[in-house]
Structure 1
Amino acid sequence: MNQAVSEAMDGFIHKFLQNNRSSKSALQIEYDPAWPSLCYRQQGATGDLVSWQPVKQSKALVWDDFEKALGLNLHPSISTFYQSYWSEHLRAQHTSGQLELIQVWNEADFERLQQNLIGHILMKRRLKQAETIFFALTEEDDFILSLNNASGEVVLEQIGLEPKQVIAPDLASFLLSIEPVIAA
């Protein structure tokens, strides 16, 4: 586990919860009993708005099948990022704009994330581009924030193209540079 990323995520989550406690509508989501999560703070009928919050994962999610299928070792910082919390996506502000940190809601969501990441890596290989692992959505539809799996740098990339710029030297630095945005 990458300690710097873990501590940066803990700090971000703490600020996110502090910022969202004052908003009456913040941290509400439609309840779906078919999509269980430890994040639900209450139960309800299907479709009811219920409160939720990020919950620290107690058992590390396993990337073994993902790594074996691709013949790749996942950068430890991105592994730690996705293994830190169960959560809905988290809105944040960076000096270059707003973003949403991609999070996993439950184990089925983690499986879906892995499938999407496999497709992303296979596309990068087909295009003979550096392998990146996405972790955030930007305001622009076809731009994402990713981690260069070899270097650990946080990069801005347009889907299907080589990264446009390095945003941060590592994921922990990036997480420390963003501020939470009140949930919509």
Structure 2
Amino acid sequence: MSSLPALDNFLKLYQLTYLEKLGESPRYYPRGEGSLCIEGEFDPSNYHESNAEISVCWQPVKREEPGSFANVETALGIELGSDIDAFFGEYFSAPLLFNCEWGQGELLQVWNQTDFEYLQQNMIGHLMMKKKLKQAPTWFIGVLGDGDKMLTVDNSDGSVWVEIPGEAPSEKLTNSLNEFIALLTPRVAPPELHIEESMPELDHPGIWNRFKLMWRNLLGK
């Protein structure tokens, strides 16, 4: 078990909840991106825009070699809390939908190694922006609601907060990431097709697209 036992438990419960409610594993739109998470056969080379709406069943997979943010620490000259490796580096998984006392949300996870590297690049951008704004460093773990609320972890003490891009964290939720995850329950819902381009009329864009919208809004200030 990792240093985030609540994540291990939530992933198991997530799979079981979908099996009990829908009779199958959760689904995801891979858009041609292969992953060890995919159940059954999947050939990324057969991907075309015309079949982008084909979803796959998936289950979280424990990584044989855990991912590390040591390269991010070296690049920025910063020491990140150990939970960041445990949260993003232990599994390959699709994003995780949840309900909690603060509403609905989505935890960010990585689909494959390429996704992990993309996440690291975005985390560097986030941390550089925090430094530019002269704000204490945080790192994001997901989104809350349908607006521009990020879920972030205070790098100094590991507490979980609600944060609006460009602003300091505004609402403390829990003292630790493990405590926060332990309060979540899986939310069963159909998969959402990830849209590459930002389209304001979309009610539920993919989680990465929502982050792109946040960064764009921030840079436009």
Q: Same fold (TM over 0.5)?
A: yes
Write the distance in 2 (CA, Å) between the matches of 1:165 and 1:177.
Answer: 16
| Deviation digits for residues 63-91 of structure 1 (CA, Å, limit 9, x no counterpart) | 22111011111101122111121011000
Task: Kindly indicate which of the two structures has a greater share of residues assigned to strand.
Answer: 1
- Assess if the C-alpha contact under 8 Å between 1:2 and 1:77 holds in 2: no
TM-score, normalized by length of structure 1? 0.91
Amino acid at match of 2:182: L
Q: 1:101 aligns with which of 97, 107, 112?
A: 107
- 1:28 maps to 27
How far residue 116 of structure 1 moved from its aligned partner, in angstroms, is: 0.6
- 1:38 maps to 36
Number of residue-to-residue matches in the alignment: 181
TM-score, normalized by length of structure 2? 0.77
- Assess if the C-alpha contact under 8 Å between 1:56 and 1:86 holds in 2: yes
Write the distance in 1 (CA, Å) between the matches of 2:173 and 2:146.
Answer: 16
Q: CA RMSD in A?
A: 1.8
Write the distance in 2 (CA, Å) between the matches of 1:50 and 1:175.
Answer: 25
Amino acid at match of 2:154: N
Query: Where in structure 2 are there 5+ consecutive unaligned residues?
Result: 191-221
- Assess if the C-alpha contact under 8 Å between 1:75 and 1:152 holds in 2: yes
- 2:199 maps to none
Write the distance in 1 (CA, Å) between the matches of 2:176 and 2:29.
Answer: 34
The 5 A counterparts of 1:57-76 are 57-76=63-82
Secondary structure, aligned partner of 2:28? strand
Secondary structure, aligned partner of 1:147? strand
How far residue 26 of structure 1 moved from its aligned partner, in angstroms, is: 5.4
Using a 3 Å threshold, how does the CA distance of structure 1 residues 182 and 108 change in structure 2: closer, same or farther?
same
Write the distance in 2 (CA, Å) between the matches of 1:39 and 1:97.
Answer: 27
How far residue 183 of structure 1 moved from its aligned partner, in angstroms, is: 3.6
Write the distance in 1 (CA, Å) between the matches of 2:125 and 2:61.
Answer: 28
Query: Where in structure 1 are there 5+ consecutive unaligned residues?
Result: none
- Assess if the C-alpha contact under 8 Å between 2:25 and 2:58 holds in 1: no
- Assess if the C-alpha contact under 8 Å between 2:67 and 2:90 holds in 1: no
Write the distance in 2 (CA, Å) between the matches of 1:29 and 1:142.
Answer: 23
- 2:158 maps to 152
How far residue 62 of structure 1 moved from its aligned partner, in angstroms, is: 2.4
How far residue 50 of structure 1 moved from its aligned partner, in angstroms, is: 2.4
Structure possessing the higher relative contact order (Cα contacts under 8 Å, 6 or more residues apart): 1
| Deviation digits for residues 93-120 of structure 1 (CA, Å, limit 9, x no counterpart) | 1101111000000110011101111111
Identity of aligned residues (%): 34
Using a 3 Å threshold, how does the CA distance of structure 1 residues 75 and 50 change in structure 2: closer, same or farther?
same
The 5 A counterparts of 1:73-88 are 73-88=79-94
- Assess if the C-alpha contact under 8 Å between 1:43 and 1:50 holds in 2: no
Higher mean C-alpha displacement, 42-51 vs 160-169: 42-51
